[in-house]
Chains A and B, each alone.
Chain A
Amino acid sequence: MRKIYLVADNIISPLGFSTEENINNLRLNQTGIKKIEDDYIWSEPFFGAVINNDELSKAWKKISNDSGYTKLEKMMLLSVSKLLVENPSLDITKCGIIISTTKGNINNLRDDSDEKVYLASISKAVQHYFKSDHTPVILSNACISGGLALAVGKRMIQSELFEDVVVIGGDLLSEFTLSGFFSFQAVSPAPCKPFCKNRTGISLGEAAASAWLSSNKENVTDEAISIVGDASANDANHISGPSRTGEGLYISIKKALKEAGLESNQIDYITAHGTATPYNDEMEAIAFNRAGMQSVPINSLKGYYGHTLGASALIESIIARHCLINNELFASLGFEELGVSESINVIAKNDKKELKRVLKTASGFGGCNVALIIEKEVS
């Protein structure tokens, strides 16, 4: 079976417009979440992580004069452009492209609804901008989209459809999603606190990211990091409430481990979904315990980025890649005291630790779950 390497990446977020800037901010335990007073999004102040429009415009002008793109498209195009600049050997015109988003250009639904509200318009924008041979595929699978897109990319390469795939993920912090999560009584009145006793809900965020997957080891310049196992499973339980037994997540983890030929005690770090809603975090703790991973160091990056929906699991996988390269762990921001019924080992402080394998998981509405195992090749 072909080995699939995570070769390079970029993150465009409130914590910076390069992966390096993002990592530096994580090292400082700096959060992108702040009090937002923006009447376009919400009539009252709320906590979230947004990308400054002026800073985005400035960065955009460096690569293009075209103002016909939406904010989300600019974020995605900027992310891929930076990836290409840093990796001259990547020929995006020949790659498979997967775009992960839950709501796309949803703000365009507010006034005069136009073609941009159709998710395929983002695929067209990306294909047109990079003049790629293949029409990018859009994956819209709720909050697991970014992780599932990596799994789909890996599967496409393994089946020899492509040698290289670029995965792009992105979503906006919109009135549309914020109002929905408010109606679910799921928005935290302060920056979110994953796995903490005092958690009350999510903080939303916005971001875009891109990652280059390749089966060609010659493309690997950093340490060789590959996706060695992946699986997705539905809870078959409820369309919004997480399973009380963590069923789908547990099945995903078991299957991903099986594909990788690994046991649960061979995982060094878990980068969890950790949205900070009472039910989600509880469900995850149950699933990790069922999988025998209660003592594995675990964090959620939602305290840094908020929940960036279709981008979140992609960003968290990218960060996991760099944690493997740098042998470091970041504190689970917002965490004070364990607030789930089953014991888990939440990372309270940044740490240096020899890491070989990471488990990335995500869960979402519709009962969907995904697990990825990312491994460092030790030479």
Chain B
Amino acid sequence: MIKEKYYISDFCSIRDNKVFKNGDQLYIDSESDNLKDFAKGVYKFLELKYPKFHKMDELCKLGFLASEVLLKDREKVDQDTALVLSNRSSSLDTDRKHQVSIRDREDFYPSPAVFVYTLPNIIMGEISIKNKMKSENAFFVTESFDADFMSRYSEILMNTGKASNVICGWVDLDNDKYDVFLAFLSKKGKKKLTKEELNNLYNQ
């Protein structure tokens, strides 16, 4: 198998009410004390007009916003750009909401708009819809961000021609604590794709 060199072209993270792209702080919100308000602030900051955003659960909002930041300066995203995401808590934040709605058999009103988000791969569905990406998707659940596995699997997709580029990363939300990191992997860039480099950028 011919193994090409791949690069981390862009990366971004969302943590502690701050948004970073390629290491630079893009946005800070020192006022919001909850994720919903913070996410809405980022949405406004990015000047998005996308009513579907407001229907998303908080996990999807985080992944979606990160993808918008990551892809912001690209004119067009290749339809074959794969999505390879991971986290620790799956969709547990919304799972809990659905569970609350069915806790009492006398007051039993599960919501379809909540239930649909009880799957972590919906984040990739939302990003695919926005960017018209009809590509490979895979959602992995690991104890912590596994740069080794994520970089290897992304390389496999590009080596085998199953994807032209890959957006890979970590989108986790659990009990209001969140941690988001996305990287755009392609044949162009300055930072070589290695597990060490990916891990360094995640830990920045």
Contacts and interface: CB of A to CB of B under 8 A. Distances in A.
A180 B137 contact: no
Contacts of B169: none
A156 B131 CA distance: 28
Contacts of A159: 1, 152, 155-156, 159-160
B119 A365 contact: yes
A184 B42 CA distance: 32
B95 A109 contact: yes
A34 interface: no
Contacts of A156: 153, 156
Given A159-B155, A180-B115, A232-B137, A366 B102 contact: no
A161 interface: yes
B155 A176 contact: no
Interface string B2-13: 000000000000
B121 A142 contact: yes
Looking at A104, A140, A175, A251, which has the most chain B CB atoms within 10 Å of its CB?
A: A140
A140 B90 contact: yes
A243 B156 CA distance: 28
B98 interface: yes
A366 B156 contact: no
B138 A158 contact: no
Nearest to B155: A159
Given A120-B141, A152-B153, A366 B119 contact: yes
A251 B137 CA distance: 13
Chain A to chain B: the 4 pairs with minimum beta-carbon distance, closest first:
A366-B125, A180-B115, A138-B141, A234-B128
Contacts of B132: 236
Interface of B: 1, 83, 88-90, 92, 95-96, 98-99, 102, 105, 108, 110-112, 115-116, 118-122, 124-126, 128-129, 131-143, 149, 152-153, 155-157, 159-160, 162
A365 B149 CA distance: 25
A316 B139 CA distance: 21
A148 B162 CA distance: 13
Nearest to B56: A239
A248 B134 contact: yes
Q: Is the interface of A mostly helix, strand, loop or mixed?
A: mixed
A137 interface: yes
Most A CB atoms within 10 A — which of B126, B137, B139, B156?
B137
Given A183-B110, A367-B125, A235 B139 contact: no
A175 B115 CA distance: 12
Interface string A94-106: 0000000011101
A28 to B, nearest CB: 34
Contact of A234 (B99, B137, B162): B137
A251 B135 CA distance: 9
Interface string A345-378: 0000000000000000000111110000000000
Contacts of A240: 112, 116
A182 B98 CA distance: 13
Contact of A120 (B88, B118, B137): B88
A103 B136 CA distance: 21
Contacts of A175: 102
A190 interface: no
A138 B121 CA distance: 13
B116 A365 contact: yes
A236 B110 CA distance: 26
B142 A161 contact: no
Nearest to A309: B119
Given A118-B88, A118-B92, A183-B111, A148 B138 contact: yes
A204 interface: no
A251 B140 contact: no
A104 B92 CA distance: 11
Contacts of B116: 239-240, 365
Given A102-B119, A180-B110, A233-B136, A367 B142 contact: no
B110 A234 contact: no
A308 interface: no
A239 B99 contact: no
Interface in A116-151: 117-120, 123, 135, 137-142, 148
A290 interface: no
B126 A120 contact: no
B178 to A, nearest CB: 16
Given A138-B140, A176-B98, A366-B121, A236 B156 contact: no
Contact of A176 (B89, B102, B153): B102
